[in-house]
Amino acid sequence: MSKSDAQMHTECLNRFIDLANTIKDEGVGTHVISAAMMSASAVYATYVAAGNEGGLTESGMDKIVEAYRHQMKQVQAAKKAEFDRANASS
């Protein structure tokens, strides 16, 4: 049985977090790791949208920034729900 996109997304997400934690455990600051992950994401998003030979237009950058904003909102909503659940059971 093949995995769904959502399952593969979660597995990839967890692999990136595991790698970030490994790098942190090697003594690299979390602020450096976060910035490097954002840079890597920008490079890869550009590659996905424009290939190796192209760059993004202003509107292309806006679309990727909006997609990132959407992801941040989802993460923050999940964190808030997790916090609320933990406090409700206290």
Rounded Cα gap, residues 25 and 45, in angstroms? 27
Binning pLDDT at 50, 70 and 90, where does residue 2 land?
confident
Rounded Cα gap, residues 31 and 73, in angstroms? 20
Binning pLDDT at 50, 70 and 90, where does residue 83 land?
very high
Determine the pLDDT at residue 54: 81
Binning pLDDT at 50, 70 and 90, where does residue 44 land?
very high
Determine the pLDDT at residue 53: 85
Q: Residue 63: pLDDT above 90?
A: yes
Rounded Cα gap, residues 62 and 49, in angstroms? 12
Q: Tell me which DSSP letter residue 57 carries.
A: -
The terminus-to-terminus CA distance of the chain in angstroms comes to 40
Q: What percent of the chain has pLDDT over 90?
A: 89
